[in-house]
Amino acid sequence: MEFQWCNKAFTRITGYEEHEALGQRGTILIGADLEQGIHLYIIEKLMNWENFSTKALNNRKNGETYWQRMSWTHLSDPETGNHWWLCSIIELEEERAEPTKPEVLDASVPDQESYERAVEKVHRLEKENVRLHRLARSVAKDANEDALTGLSNRRHFEVELKTWIENLKEHGAEFAVLYIDLDRFKFVNDTLGHDAGDRLLVSVAKMLKELTEKSDLVARLGGDEYVVLKPLGKSALNVSSLADEIVQRMQAPFSFDGKSTACSASVGVAIAKASMANPEQVVADADAALYHAKDQGKGRWSFFTEEMHAKSISTKQLASDLLLACERREFIPYFQPLIDARTGRIAYAEMLVRWCHPTKGILAPAAFLDTAAQIGILKRIDEIIFASVHGALTHLDEAGVDLPRVAVNVSAARLADPTFIHDIKSSGIAPERLTVEILESVYLDRMGDVVRWTIDELDELGVGIALDDFGTGHASVSGLLEIRPSILKIDRHFIQPIVENPSSRRLAASIIGIGKSLDMQVVAEGVETEEHAQLACEMGCDYLQGFYFGKPMSEDNLRDTLIENRGDFWSGGAQSTAVRSVGKAG
């Protein structure tokens, strides 16, 4: 963003003249002495289009330091899609102006002139008073209103919710909470741009206003989350009808600049009853119902039940256990070998995280990884696992066991985390012995700038990149060209039917052909029999992975297996190669 306007107070405080500021990037507001943490906070808020203010030591143009309060307000025009940031700067150091001298009345000045001067001063004060009242009303409105949509904001919603709960306790005024979340908002932002995303948010707000009544409260909590408070009245049918209508309206395509996309909504509904021991829980209940609706396939609404309450309690307990598991470093790596289809020897091993639970034993990722992502501890788990993988490679090297590379799975959240590269570098794992596996569904056609930067940095380091579960329907060939993975892993659902089903063989062969045409090495996942292995090898797969060669195993089991078989898992690869050579010679 760049400067488009500044006033005289700005030039006086910062030292930048108007002609020096206009057209310049906003970074000139960041002085050398501004604390880095404050700078990062500013960047984060600007990227998320959130109004905010900071108090910090900053620099004028000449380098002089001064204390300032910097406040940022996001402005936008829903009709044109234009966006601005209004930044106001207040100098906080003590005033050093000379004390004003008392005015001495001149006896020679006629009384009429003194009267007119006094009247003029009164008029000025009245105008200033009107201006201050307008400013106060504007500030009060801004404090309660979402800047983009004009709905109540989170702060106003929380204040109103307390009032509704008080009325429930005192007068039995029961009400419903409808928690609304857009299912594909990020996709709209990534494909059509943030202007389209803002236009969508505004249109959803308009739709909610049309569907609700004056007695209802409609708020945008932030991002793509909305909430409606609705008096229950004599029947719950009006609540279910509203939830139904919201879901149906959101099924319609959303258009922007001639482009159209779908963006459904999920709704969670809960009712605050007079008999409830803790009605303050009603919003959390509606949120739990919302997640249940999303789990059931999205684009629908769900009503809160006691089963959801039990699941919510279970999830909270799991979250607590996970935090404790991080402190105790209970996460360990398991390894599944990938075999070179030509030689039958181990090429590398895929690392799969396991939780060594103190009472439940070894738990697979499906039991805890989603909750770990929700509470934001994937980075901590990665740090524990990276250290364990580094230790495992060291132990295997010391034992004389050959394991050329290790592959690790990376979540979408970690790919979008700018600190991920730092974690890779500080893990101690040699980049040439590390491959990062990315789920196809994570990125391809909807990558953000941070993800692109992360992948470029991995490539620069020499870390291998593998695209996992290819063929599940999320990616395009253009996406493959953009990411340029060195390894393409074909999903097990395409490999398992190839023995019995000729159509499946042709489909798998087509996918293998795509990878080969782009100079990628191809992995067949889900190899469970000798027939699977032979066919995948003959079809041109470079690596084979599946239970036929071994299930995921601990470091000790992997070491013992590699020592026992000396890294040789299969003799069929050489035979298959010989058969193909004879065929070509004939």
Q: Where are the domains of the chain?
A: 8-91, 154-310, 331-585
Considering 15-29, 127-141, 444-458, 518-532, the range whose residues carry the highest mean pLDDT is: 518-532
Phi, psi of 265 (to 5 degrees): -135, 145
What's the chain's average pLDDT?
Answer: 85
253's tokens: 């395509």
User: How many CB atoms are closer than 10 A to CB 283?
Assistant: 21
In the block, residue with structure tokens 């509704």: 164
pLDDT, tens digit (0-9, with 9 covering 90-100), for 42-55: 887 887 788 889 99
Res. 369: pLDDT tops 70 = yes
Q: How far apart are CA 194 and CA 184, in angstroms?
A: 13
Superfamily the domain 154-310 falls into: Reverse transcriptase/Diguanylate cyclase domain (3.30.70.270)
Task: State the DSSP code for 152.
Answer: B
483's tokens: 């990411």
pLDDT, tens digit (0-9, with 9 covering 90-100), for 403-439: 999 999 887 778 888 889 999 999 999 999 999 998 7
Q: What is the mean predicted confidence (pLDDT) over 508-515?
A: 92
Give the contacts of 243 (CB within 8 A, at least 6 positions apart): 178, 267, 269, 301
Residues of the chain with pLDDT > 70, as a percent, come to 85
Q: Between residues 117 and 59, which one has the greater pLDDT?
A: 59
8-91 under CATH 3.30.450.20, yes or no: yes
pLDDT, tens digit (0-9, with 9 covering 90-100), for 124-162: 666 666 665 555 555 545 568 888 999 999 989 999 999
Distance (Å) of CA 163 to CA 181, 232, 332: 24, 15, 49
Specify the range with the lowest mean pLDDT, choosing from 56-60, 128-132, 389-393, 518-522: 128-132
86, with CB counted inside 10 A (0-12, 13-18, 19+), is exposed
Q: In the prediction, which pLDDT does 584 show?
A: 35
Q: How far apart are CA 163 and CA 150, in angstroms?
A: 21
Res. 237: pLDDT tops 90 = no
Give the contacts of 45 (CB within 8 A, at least 6 positions apart): 51, 52, 72
Specify the range with the lowest mean pLDDT, choosing from 54-63, 211-220, 269-278: 269-278
Q: How far apart are CA 187 and CA 446, in angstroms?
A: 6
Helix/strand/coil for 285: helix
Q: In the prediction, which pLDDT does 242 show?
A: 94
> What are the E-state strand segments in 30-64?
52-59
438, with CB counted inside 10 A (0-12, 13-18, 19+), is buried
Helix/strand/coil for 206: helix
Q: In the prediction, which pLDDT does 23 show?
A: 86
Q: Nearest 10 degrees: CA dihedral of 467, 472, 478, 482?
A: -20
The class that CATH gives domain 331-585 is alpha beta
Q: How far apart are CA 48 and CA 126, in angstroms?
A: 40
Q: How far apart are CA 237 and CA 240, in angstroms?
A: 5
